[in-house]
Copies of this chain bind each other. A is one copy, B any other.
């Protein structure tokens, strides 16, 4: 761990960035898929060659020890990890580098930083793991600020308290996924929130962006796992009561969930935990067509069987990641429990699949491990889900290689009611296909379901298109706009779990009710009177002269 450090420009760990051989292999695959000549592979700009603007801010003496203007820190905190971010990093376009990167060690430091930012009207940009794919952490803040401070919360990384009987823990907002899981493990407990960014995102980031996790149904969002929150705002600390449920006025927590760093900084939360699962049953179900798979999943979603995993892959994804052939769609269906064997649940869901033409090329799998509450759960507790998870978590590294060969790789995710899904799927697919054809001369779009609800699915679209060196971002922007327009036109949300950030603002502004937006703006003005928190996210940044 000592020598390992995060890539300042790409995904994850520096030592995991695809090497020349891996990149060449990906390039060959892409060239063959799109029938294009050999792809030129370029190198990212060197850190030392970056032309960073001079810092505009000097921290007060009392805060100096937690503040850095180091080149690596500023470059690494300039962007999130969207396709656009990585392209800009790769090319050295870091116009919005924060002036200062601050790493508070405790809540008092967070308060002091917000006081300083408010006093000098500097933008305060909360930064967890920095994995935003929606422009949520960059200092594109308009002209009303004296500078920008990226507030990196990863030193607030402890599990402070565990309530075993209620299965809950008080956890600091800056704890990265593996860091908090490691502290829960000795109690046999787990938050079991595994977004794809799990290794490089924090609890506070998940809460601020309404992250989507491990569970395909019921507890889809981090919202549902939240018992109470403690939030530092420029107007004071808001701490809600630990409650399993309440009807006392509008929920305070639901106001901060999804606030994306615009209302305050989440320093702690009591989170609902799970016992580590003991029983698992799963199956890969093939359907002759995507439509039949969709119909089976709809019925499953309305059956109250509540699968843990219910990932329907369209034929494109089924072919590339599940080895399916002949235009089959594949449903990855799984149940898990710490309490009871779940083969009965799986069997009931498989009956639904069979009615809709689903077949099992391989038998369903069930396993149970000895329950363990000791500090060292047996390796068997990992199993197939962990294997899948590791591959899932590894995937974003591949995007660094695609950027190096000027291939556009983007994902769009949404949710819609079942009655609109066919139209939305067709509309998004057509709009994006046409855009790619026109702009890039081709490209592919595929779809899977990440989460399901009784009234609709959460479809997730993946796009790959060949681009040209130097034109990636303008081409990407056109495809992104075509996709986003189609999502909104056909009844979807601009984001089911990736957040709004700065990139989704134009469509979010169409989606949210204006009356609600004006009310929320008033609430923000009270909590953040100097309007320093994450300007440009959710709300228009403040205008006006710098102090």
Inside 8 A of A504's CB, which chain B residues have their CB?
A: 248
* A240-B513, A455-B168 as given contacts; A518 in contact with B526, CB under 8 Å: yes
- A83 shortest CB reach to chain B, Å: 19
Contact A508 B249 (CB under 8 A): yes
Contacting pair B242 A491 (CB below 8 A): yes
User: A492-515: contact bitstring with B at CB < 8 Å (1 yes, 0 no)?
Assistant: 111111111000100010011111
Output the nearest chain B residue to A231 by Cβ-Cβ distance. Answer: B515
Residues from chain B with a CB closer than 8 A to the CB of A519 are 255, 263, 523-524, 526-527
A258 at the interface (CB under 8 A from B): yes
CB-CB < 8 A to A524: which residues of B? 519
How would residues 185 to 224 of chain A score, 1 for a CB under 8 Å from any chain B CB and 0 otherwise? 0000000000000000000000001111000001011000
Residue of B nearest to A498 (CB): B247
When C-beta atoms are compared, the residue in chain B nearest to A304 turns out to be B337
Q: Which of A348, A416, A418, A454 has the most CB of B within 10 A?
A: A454
List of B residues within 8 angstroms of A242 by Cβ? 417, 491
Contact residues in B for A241 (Cβ distance below 8 Å): 491, 493, 511
Chain B CB within 10 Å, residue with most, of A244, A260, A344, A518: A244
Q: Copy number in this complex?
A: 2
B246 and A496 form a contact (CB under 8 A): yes
Question: How far does the alpha carbon of A165 sit from the alpha carbon of B240 in the complex, in Å?
Answer: 38
Shortest beta-carbon distance, A203 to chain B, in Å?
16
Contact of A306 among B250, B254, B304, B538 (CB under 8 A): B304
Q: Which of A422-465 contact B (CB under 8 A)?
A: 451, 453-458
Complex partner residue of A245 from B168, B220, B498, CB under 8 angstroms: B220
Given contacts A249-B512, A523-B520, A523-B523, contact A166 B238 (CB under 8 A): no
Taking the complex as formed, is A125 at the interface, i.e. its CB lies under 8 A from any CB of chain B? Answer: no
Q: Is A522 an interface residue (CB 8 A)?
A: yes
Q: Is the CB of B526 within 8 A of A247?
A: no
Number of interface residues of A (CB under 8 A): 95
Judge whether B451 and A245 touch: CB under 8 Å: yes
| Residue from B212, B235, B238 within 8 A of A247 (CB atoms) | B212
CA distance A487 to B534 in the complex (A): 38
Candidates B209, B259, B272, B454; contact of A244 at CB < 8 Å: B454
Would B518 and A246 count as touching, CB distance under 8 A? no
Tell me the bound Cα distance from A514 to B240 in angstroms. 10
Q: Are A243 and B493 in contact (CB under 8 A)?
A: yes
Partner of A248, one of B249, B339, B512: B512
User: How many angstroms from the CA of A306 to the CA of B247 in the assembled complex?
Assistant: 20
- Say whether, besides A242-B491, A455-B272, A527-B519, A210 and B247 are in contact (CB < 8 Å): yes
Decide: A497 and B238 in contact? CB cutoff 8 A: no
A227 interface residue (CB < 8 Å to B): yes
A388 at the binding interface (Cβ < 8 Å): no
Q: Is the CB of B522 within 8 A of A417?
A: no
Q: Does A287 contact B (CB under 8 A)?
A: no
Q: Which residues of A contact B (CB under 8 A)?
A: 163, 165-168, 209-212, 218, 220-221, 227, 231, 233, 235-252, 254-260, 263, 272, 275, 298, 302-306, 337, 339-340, 344, 348, 415-419, 451, 453-458, 491-500, 504, 508, 511-516, 518-527, 538
Beyond A167-B302, A249-B260, 11 extra complex contacts between A and B, CB < 8 Å? A166-B455, A167-B455, A235-B515, A243-B456, A247-B498, A250-B259, A340-B348, A515-B527, A519-B523, A519-B526, A523-B523
* Pairs A-B, 8 closest by C-beta atoms: A244-B456, A244-B453, A254-B254, A210-B247, A238-B515, A519-B523, A238-B513, A246-B493
- Can you spell out 22 A-B residue pairs with CB atoms less than 8 angstroms apart? A163-B417, A166-B455, A212-B247, A233-B515, A235-B515, A236-B515, A237-B515, A240-B512, A241-B491, A243-B417, A243-B492, A245-B451, A248-B495, A248-B508, A252-B512, A252-B516, A255-B519, A272-B454, A272-B455, A303-B337, A520-B523, A522-B523
